[in-house]
């Protein structure tokens, strides 16, 4: 935390220093370039005015047969006053390096530097256009140096539009760089001093500010070692000179330590309760094993009942064949009644055997959405024969769970079959699969007659049915399959509007 605070503070100060330095440098560059341009233009105007006045005064002293242009060229190139004036004008501004006067052929007639006379006037960039450029480009030019710019004007004979003289004032960025460098050095010194001061102040401030955290760290270590508060052995009262917020925090840590001590005692008591609960569970498991033994016993009894029933059914069929003479019709009817009852008892025994038989669940990864679509494909022909419109609604991805695909598929088949049989006049059946973070859900909704309120508590009971040919085991087996998968099954029903069964299973944890 200390390092981060120091880095953050120094970075902030550095950004402010850079921003202020950039603003100052921009102002300085603008000022220097504006001043240099002003001095250059002022020098150009002074030279132009002096030349016109001087030439007008002295042109009468020369032969006019050569023409005024030749007279002007002669005066400019030979009059020492003009060269002296050019040197004096250039000395007024430190950024000026040269002043030249040239004729129409751009050959220099007079110059502040005598060695330039007779040479061609150099082509330079316009100083006013450079001054209009961005501050960054001007700063780079000034730092590089060695670039010359011109401010030029033309002079002509009074009363004529023709300009026969060109006045060129040359400004060099080399001469402007010196004041700029001195300012940059000053800015660098101020910025460096600011960063150093910020570093020292931040180090001192963080040392003083984070000192209470060390005491809090010691308090936490004390709590971990078992000293839960200032009243216990090894505890210490809050530091009197500590900041109020840290003192309050340390006090709350001591209080938290005391609560942690109480929580440890509660955890010990809870562990004792869990042990007792495990003992009770062991007792209940013993009871469950006994119930399983009873289930096996009842299964054996059911088998013993089923065998005599088969023998009785065979004997009744034999008697029916014997009683084929006239006048024995009443006896045949009684035998038929007995035979039907025996068949009914046989179905009950088979159902009981199927339901009481222990189920071995084979857990695997199951996609409830895909399984629902398989059931829909399987039940589409029966639904069409019953004039039932079967719809399937699934999420965009899988609906994963851990379970036995056969058991879940049979449970869904039982629900779909019951729903189709409940819509005697046809209707619509919708299978909707959804998933969220912790569960996957299947809704089976039909538009049948619904379940009467008086019968809703008996729906999942074994052998309960409202259909003439039903066995009363389908929903009971569905309920058992859902329970074996730690799921839940609920239903909503409205008479005349249909029923919706809702199956919910824990979602499988997908490992990435």
Number of domains within the chain: 2
CA 459 to chain centre: 48
Average pLDDT, the chain: 76
Look up residue 396 and give its two tokens: 């965009």
Does residue 378 lie within any of the structural domains?
Answer: yes
Cα–Cα distance, 219 to 9 (Å, whole number): 29
Which pLDDT score, from 0 to 100, does residue 252 have? 67
Render pLDDT for 171-215 as a digit per residue (tens, 0 to 9). Answer: 777 666 677 777 777 777 877 787 788 778 877 777 776 666 676
Residue at which a domain ends, from 165, 193, 221 = 193
Max avg pLDDT among 78-87, 155-164, 173-182: 78-87
Render pLDDT for 26-67 as a digit per residue (tens, 0 to 9). Answer: 777 777 777 777 788 888 888 888 888 877 777 776 665 667
Look up residue 155 and give its two tokens: 């002079």
Which pLDDT score, from 0 to 100, does residue 391 have? 93
Does residue 499 lie within any of the structural domains?
Answer: yes
Burial class from Cβ neighbours inside 10 Å (0-12, 13-18, 19+) for residue 477 reads: buried
Q: pLDDT class for 505, splitting at 50, 70, 90?
A: very high
- By three-state DSSP, how is residue 4 classified? helix
Q: Nearest 5 degrees, angle CA 289-CA 295-CA 298?
A: 145
CATH number of the CATH domain containing 455: 3.30.565.10
Does residue 492 lie within any of the structural domains?
Answer: yes
Residue at which a domain ends, from 193, 228, 243 = 193
Cα–Cα distance, 366 to 477 (Å, whole number): 19
From the list 403, 398, 390, the residue with the least C-alpha distance to 431 is 390
Does residue 67 lie within any of the structural domains?
Answer: yes
Q: pLDDT class for 291, splitting at 50, 70, 90?
A: very low
**Greater pLDDT, 423 or 473:** 423
Render pLDDT for 482-504 as a digit per residue (tens, 0 to 9). Answer: 888 889 999 998 888 889 999 99
Does residue 300 lie within any of the structural domains?
Answer: no
Residue showing tokens 């390096």? 97
Q: pLDDT class for 73, splitting at 50, 70, 90?
A: confident
Look up residue 361 and give its two tokens: 């669940």
Burial class from Cβ neighbours inside 10 Å (0-12, 13-18, 19+) for residue 276 reads: exposed
Does residue 77 lie within any of the structural domains?
Answer: yes
CA distances from 26 to 32, 37, 139, 184, 186 (A): 10, 16, 8, 11, 15
Does residue 486 lie within any of the structural domains?
Answer: yes
From the list 169, 151, 163, the residue with the least C-alpha distance to 86 is 169
**Greater pLDDT, 506 or 301:** 506
Q: pLDDT class for 406, splitting at 50, 70, 90?
A: confident
**Greater pLDDT, 408 or 163:** 408
b/e map 159-189, b = 16+ CB within 10 Å: eeeeebbbbbbbbbbeebbebbeebbeebee
From the list 426, 413, 401, the residue with the least C-alpha distance to 506 is 401
Residue at which a domain ends, from 193, 214, 247 = 193
Strand partners, 152: 168
Which pLDDT score, from 0 to 100, does residue 231 have? 47
Which pLDDT score, from 0 to 100, does residue 330 have? 65
Look up residue 2 and give its two tokens: 């200390």
Q: Which domain holds residue 424?
A: 364-506
Query: H or E stretch including 105?
Result: none
Cα–Cα distance, 253 to 220 (Å, whole number): 7
Q: What's the pTM value of the predicted model, to 2 decimals?
A: 0.38
Does residue 511 lie within any of the structural domains?
Answer: no
Q: What share of the chain is helix, strand, coil (3-state, %, to 5)?
A: 60, 15, 25
Look up residue 195 and give its two tokens: 């960063």
From the list 346, 291, 286, 294, the residue with the least C-alpha distance to 316 is 346
Q: pLDDT class for 281, splitting at 50, 70, 90?
A: confident
Cα–Cα distance, 460 to 117 (Å, whole number): 120
Which pLDDT score, from 0 to 100, does residue 500 have? 93
Q: pLDDT class for 470, splitting at 50, 70, 90?
A: low
Q: pLDDT class for 370, splitting at 50, 70, 90?
A: very high
Cα–Cα distance, 89 to 42 (Å, whole number): 10
Burial class from Cβ neighbours inside 10 Å (0-12, 13-18, 19+) for residue 75 reads: buried
Look up residue 210 and give its two tokens: 């984070």
Q: How many residues does the chain have?
A: 512
């Amino acid at each position: 935390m200390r390092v981060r605070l120091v880095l953050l503070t120094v970075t902030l100060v550095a950004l402010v220093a850079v921003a202020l330095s950039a603003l100052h440098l921009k102002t300085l560059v603008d000022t220097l370039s504006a001043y240099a341009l002003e001095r250059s233009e002022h020098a150009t105007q002074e030279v132009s005015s002096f030349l016109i006045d001087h030439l007008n005064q002295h042109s009468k002293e020369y032969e006019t047969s050569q023409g005024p242009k030749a007279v002007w060229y002669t005066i400019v190139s030979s009059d020492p006053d003009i060269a002296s004036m050019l040197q004096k004008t250039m000395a007024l501004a430190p950024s000026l390096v040269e002043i030249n006067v040239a004729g129409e052929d751009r050959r220099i007639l007079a110059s502040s530097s005598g060695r330039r006379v007779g040479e061609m006037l150099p082509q330079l960039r316009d100083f006013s256009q450079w001054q209009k450029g961005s501050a960054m480009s001007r700063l780079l030019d000034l730092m590089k140096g060695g670039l010359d710019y011109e401010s030029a004007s033309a002079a002509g004979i009074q009363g004529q539009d023709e300009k026969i003289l060109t006045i060129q004032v040359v400004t060099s960025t080399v001469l402007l760089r010196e004041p700029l460098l001195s300012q940059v050095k000053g800015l660098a010194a101020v910025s460096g001093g600011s960063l150093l001061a910020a570093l020292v102040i931040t180090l001192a401030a963080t040392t003083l500010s984070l000192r209470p955290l060390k005491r809090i760290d010691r308090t936490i270590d004390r709590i971990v070692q078992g000293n839960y508060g200032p009243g216990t052995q090894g505890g210490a009262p809050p530091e009197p000179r500590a900041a109020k917020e840290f003192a309050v925090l340390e006090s709350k840590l001591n209080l938290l330590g005391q609560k942690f001590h109480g929580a440890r005692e509660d955890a010990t008591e809870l562990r004792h309760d869990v042990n007792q609960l495990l003992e009770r569970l062991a007792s209940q498991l013993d009871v469950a094993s006994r119930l399983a033994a009873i289930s096996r016993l009842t299964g054996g009894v059911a088998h013993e009942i089923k065998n005599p029933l088969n023998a009785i059914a065979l004997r009744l069929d034999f008697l029916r064949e014997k009683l084929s003479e006239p006048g024995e019709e009443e006896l045949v009817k009684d035998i038929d009644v007995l035979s039907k009852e025996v068949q009914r008892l046989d179905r009950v025994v088979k159902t009981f055997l199927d339901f009481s038989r222990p189920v071995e669940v084979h857990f695997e990864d199951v996609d409830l959405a895909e399984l629902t679509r398989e059931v829909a494909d399987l039940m589409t022909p029966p639904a069409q024969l019953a004039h039932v419109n079967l719809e399937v609604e699934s999420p965009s991805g899988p609906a994963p769970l851990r379970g036995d695909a056969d058991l879940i598929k049979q449970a869904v088949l039982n629900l779909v079959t019951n729903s189709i049989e409940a819509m005697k006049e046809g209707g619509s059946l919708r299978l909707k699969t959804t998933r969220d973070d912790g569960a996957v859900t299947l809704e089976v909704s039909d538009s049948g007659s619904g379940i009467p309120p008086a019968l809703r508590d008996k729906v999942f009971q074994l052998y309960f049915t409202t259909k003439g040919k039903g066995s009363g085991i389908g929903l009971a087996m569905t309920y058992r399959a859902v329970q074996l998968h730690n799921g839940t099954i609920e239903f909503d029903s409205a008479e005349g509007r249909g029923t919706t069964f809702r199956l919910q299973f824990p979602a499988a944890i997908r490992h990435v």
